[in-house]
Amino acid sequence: MPTRRYIVAAQACWAALCHALALATLGISLVLAGQTSAHAQTTDAAASPAAPATYVLGFLQYFRWPDEAGIERWQICVPAGSTADVAVYDGQTARGRPVSVRRLGPGDPVGDCQVLDLTAAPAAAAVELLQSARRQPILTVGEGASFCTAGGMVCLRRPADGSGFEVSLTAVREGRLKASAQVLLLGRRKGGS
Amino acid sequence: MSAPAPPPLPSLAGRIRLSLLKVTLFGIAVVTAAALAIGYHALERLVRSHLATLAATTATQSQAAALFRDREAAMEVLRSIPKEQGISVAELRDPAGAVIARVAHEDQTVPGPLAPAFSLGHVSADVVVDGRKVGRVVLVDGGRPLLRSLLDFLVLDLLGALVTGLVVLAIARRLTRHITQPLTELGAVIRGVRADRDFGRRAPGGSVAEIEELRADFNALLDEIQRRDHDLNRTNAALKRLAFRDPLTGLANRAMFENALLAALRAEGGAGRPGLLYFDLDSFKAVNDTFGHLVGDALLKAIAARLEAELPPSALPARIGGDEFVVLIGGIATEDELRAIAERLQEALQAPLRAGPQILYPGLSVGYALSPENGAAADELIHLADRAMYVSKSRRREAGVHTRWETVPHVDHRSLKMLFDQIDAAGEPAARNEATGMHPGVIDVAKKSA
């Protein structure tokens, strides 16, 4: 009886439809549940490039000094003629030690400095300080690739060249400092490419 | 205006099958819904915790990039998140919320309005260096992992439903066969009884108690019907016999003969015409008066038996009066043919027969009539044959021909009754005694053609 077959088939389809309806109802409930977790996000504005002082503070995290146990505070030395914004360093700490800034006059010893921030220093003062800090555990940070060829350890790119920095491994090794892998990866990538 | 035909009724097997299928599908739907609800929440928890781990790992890898706000380094870290994690947007933001780097995979977003149902939204982890929050990793879930898992589940569920449905249908088919097959066979037996009056069949046994009961009841009913039908047939036969047979000789009676004659006259075509013979015993009253009715009845029986023996089965002999016999013979071509039959029959009937100590020489007058080409009424034909017979009888009487008898001397009269019983009812004439010279003699067949 073909007619009976059709009836059975039609009613089976109806049952399948019920099945699908149940699933659809479930799906809708899931949508409602999901929509409660819809998120709201803050501004999408792009972050401004980091200032040199920010880099210097960051390097305190990724470089290791030979006798860190004896270091009570991070001494960041800035030549007298530098235009660097040293106010950034005020009140900062790194790895549990406070950060302090010292301005260096001509001829001042650099022995107790952990970092020489030469990013905005007059060229003459920068060269002189670089020479006196040579082979000492003092992280020298300058601007422009020429700084590294002149014996500096870390040279930040000039704002015109984009962000980032390079690390001179030779200078770092001579100063008996240790650079962490992360900072080396960042630096080498910049320098290498 | 014709009323619409009623829709065909669904079969019992179809209904049972459909019900089983509905129950099964309903069960599957309920289980699926429950499993989906539970599975959805379990999967959501799992995916959420996985995303949290992923965000934390990414945050650790982004420390330097966040610290130096290095976009390219951050991009590299964000791009390193495997695609199959289903992340549609990955961001590294600085503590103020500004974006340092952002990687978006539009193809990881579930399209359509269902997207919010599967996406877990955003998961974030702070990038902390030296106890200081330097940034935040934000991962937005595109919803694909959850959707994929649920789809896999649904496909499996539908496959399971399909397989279960087929199995249920197969089981239902076997189940319903136990119910519908005995019913079908029962129906066939009922139809057999109705259409062919086939009372010999019985419904075969079933494997379901109710149907077995129905079958037993029906078979019992059939037994009863069969018995009643048998009784009815027997009664009918007896009634028919009463109505159409002569009780003494067993020949057809007048009613049956007239019916047959009418039917023969009405019948068209065929070779020949119906012919009618009319016999009457001579001096039958004298036999009765002399020897009693027992001998008279025996004589009538003997004549009847001889008629039946001499005639072909197609001819119809009948006793229509006390000593009057008629014969209806079909397919007669000519009057001469009919006359020849009449003479032959007369001779056979007049053969002597023994009744106890007596030897009877029955004399029979015969008349015949042949249905004319143009047809004649039945009573007219009977009348004609009757008249012809009377003419013959009166001539025979004038000629001194009648039924005679003689007594065999050596037979004991006291054993007469016993001998009556031995009368040869089969009509085989007793030994004809040629020596007595008591032959019936003249065969005088008067005829009168219509």
Tell me the C-alpha to C-alpha distance, in Å, between residue B62 and each of A24, B93, B104, B136, B281: 42, 10, 17, 9, 144
Judge whether A64 and A180 are in contact, CB under 8 Å.
yes
Residues in chain A with CB shorter than 8 Å from the CB of B154 are 23
Domain of A70, in residue numbers? 52-192
Instruction: Say if A25 falls within a structural domain.
Output: no
Confidence of residue B326 (pLDDT cuts 50, 70, 90): very high
Is A16 domain-assigned?
A: no
CB B400 within 8 A of CB B372: no
Under 8 Å between Cβ of B203 and B176 = no
Kindly determine whether residue A39 and residue B122, on different chains, have CB atoms separated by under 8 Å. Answer: yes
Chain A: residue nearest B69 by CA? A50
A19: nearest CB among B11, B17, B25: B25
Query: Tens of pLDDT along B413-445?
Result: 555 555 555 554 434 444 333 333 332 222 344
Among B46-50, B147-151, B256-260, the range scoring the smallest mean pLDDT is B147-151
Exposure letters A15-38 (e unless 16+ CB within 10 A, then b): bbeebeebbeebeeebeeebeeee
**Catalytic residue chosen out of the listed positions B152, B323, B421, B444:** B323
Say if the Cβ atoms of A50 and B29 lie within 8 Å.
no
Residue B25 distance to chain A (closest CA, Å): 7
User: And the tokens for B25?
Assistant: 């599908």
- Is residue A69 in a domain? yes
User: Which residues of chain B does A58 touch, with a Cβ-Cβ cutoff of 8 Å?
Assistant: 64, 67-68, 129
User: Where in chain B are the domains?
Assistant: 12-164, 254-447
Strands (E), chain A: 63-64, 74-79, 93-94, 97-104, 115-117, 139-143, 154-156, 165-167, 178-179
Using alpha carbons, list the distances in angstroms from residue B395 to B125, B352, B445: 149, 21, 9
CATH code of the domain made up of B254-447: 3.30.70.270
Contact check, Cβ <8 Å, A27/B29 = no
**Separation in Å, CA B167 to CA A14, A106, B82:** 19, 96, 43
**The pLDDT of residue B136:** 94
In one-letter notation, the amino acid at residue B295 is V
Res A141: pLDDT: 93
What mean pLDDT do residues B381-394 have? 89
Interface touch A50/B113, C-beta < 8 Å: no
Residue B182 burial (CB count, 10 A) = 20
Flag whether pLDDT at B53 surpasses 70. Answer: yes
Tell me which residue of A167, A107, A105 sits closest to A142, measured CA to CA.
Answer: A167
A117 in Cβ contact with A53 (< 8 Å) = yes
Q: How confident is the model at residue B280 (pLDDT cuts 50, 70, 90)?
A: very high
Which range is least confidently modeled, A99-103, B143-147, B390-394? B143-147
Contact A4 B14 (CB under 8 A): yes
Q: Is the pLDDT of residue B69 over 80?
A: yes
Q: Is residue A26 part of a domain?
A: no
Query: What spatial distance separates the first Cα and last Cα of chain B, rounded to whole Å?
Result: 62
Residue in B17, B67, B121 closest to A39 by CB: B121
Read out DSSP for B235-274? HHHHHHHHHHB-TTT-SB-HHHHHHHHHHHHH---SSSEE
Are A182 and B72 an interchain contact pair (Cβ–Cβ within 8 Å)? Answer: no
Q: Has residue B138 got a pLDDT over 90?
A: yes
In a domain? residue A75: yes
pLDDT of A114 > 90? The answer is: yes
- Residue B82's alpha-carbon distances to B74, B86, B100, B102, in angstroms, are 15, 8, 20, 15
Any chain A CB within 8 A of the CB of B113? yes
Contacts with B, A 119-178, CB within 8 Å: 163-165
A135 Rama class: left (phi>0) / alpha (psi -120 to 50) / beta:
left
CATH number at residue A180: 3.40.50.2300
Q: Which residues of B361-397 are buried (b: 16+ CB within 10 A; e: fewer)?
A: bbbbbbbbbbbeeeebebeebbbbbbebbbbbbeebe
User: Whole-angstrom Cα distance, residue B117 to residue B104?
Assistant: 20
Write the residue in A15, A34, A49 that is nearest to B116 by C-beta: A34
Considering only CB atoms, which chain B residues are within 8 Å of A95? 130
Confidence of residue B219 (pLDDT cuts 50, 70, 90): confident
Task: Identify the burial level of B278 via C-beta atoms within 10 angstroms of its C-beta, where 0-12 means exposed, 13-18 middle and 19 or more buried.
Answer: buried
Q: What is the CA radius of gyration of chain B?
A: 56
As a whole number of angstroms, the distance between CA B371 and CA B335 comes to 10
Q: Do B63 and A30 touch (CB under 8 A)?
A: no
| Domain topology for B12-164 | Beta-Lactamase (3.30.450)
pLDDT digits (tens, 9 = 90+) for B189-218: 888 888 887 777 787 777 778 888 888 888
Helix intervals (H) in B100-143: 115-118
Contact indicator for B246, B253 with CB cutoff of 8 Å: yes
* Domain count for chain A: 1
Q: Which helix (H) or strand (E) holds B406?
A: strand B404-407
Which among B67, B72, B88, B99 is the top mutation candidate for probing chain A, defined by the most A β-carbons within 10 Å of its own β-carbon?
B67
User: Positive or negative, the Cα torsion across B298, B304, B307, B310?
Assistant: negative
Nearest Cβ partner for A22 among B29, B68, B130: B29
The tally of CA atoms less than 13 A away on the side-chain side of residue B140 is 21
- For chain B, the average pLDDT equals 82
Which residue from B338, B335, B366, B336 is spatially nearest to B444, judged by alpha carbons?
Answer: B366
Residue of A nearest to B26 (CA): A19
pLDDT at res. B437:
33
Q: Which of A5, A29, A31, A39 to mutate to probe the B interface, most B CBs <10 Å? A: A39
Chain B positions touching A55 (Cβ under 8 A) are 68
Which H or E run contains B37? helix B12-61
Structure tokens at A64: 């290791």
Looking at residue A37, its pLDDT comes to 46
Contact across the interface for A48 and B98, Cβ inside 8 Å: yes
Q: Is residue A77 part of a domain?
A: yes
**What is the DSSP track for A167-188?**
E-HHHHHHTT-EE-HHHHHHHH
Which of B10, B122, B138 is the closest to A4 by Cβ?
B10
Three-state SS at B441: coil
In a domain, A145, yes or no: yes
* Distance, CA of B17 to CA of B177 (rounded, Å): 11
What's the whole-number mean pLDDT along residues B293-312? 91
Structure tokens at B204: 């075969």
Kindly report the number of other CB atoms within 10 A of residue B21's CB atom: 20
In this prediction, the answer to ipTM > 0.85 reads no
Our answer to whether residue B323 is catalytic in this structure is: yes
Whether B160 and B35 have beta carbons less than 8 Å apart is answered as no
Average pLDDT over residues B264-286: 83
Residue at A163 is within a domain: yes
More confident residue, B7 or B435: B7
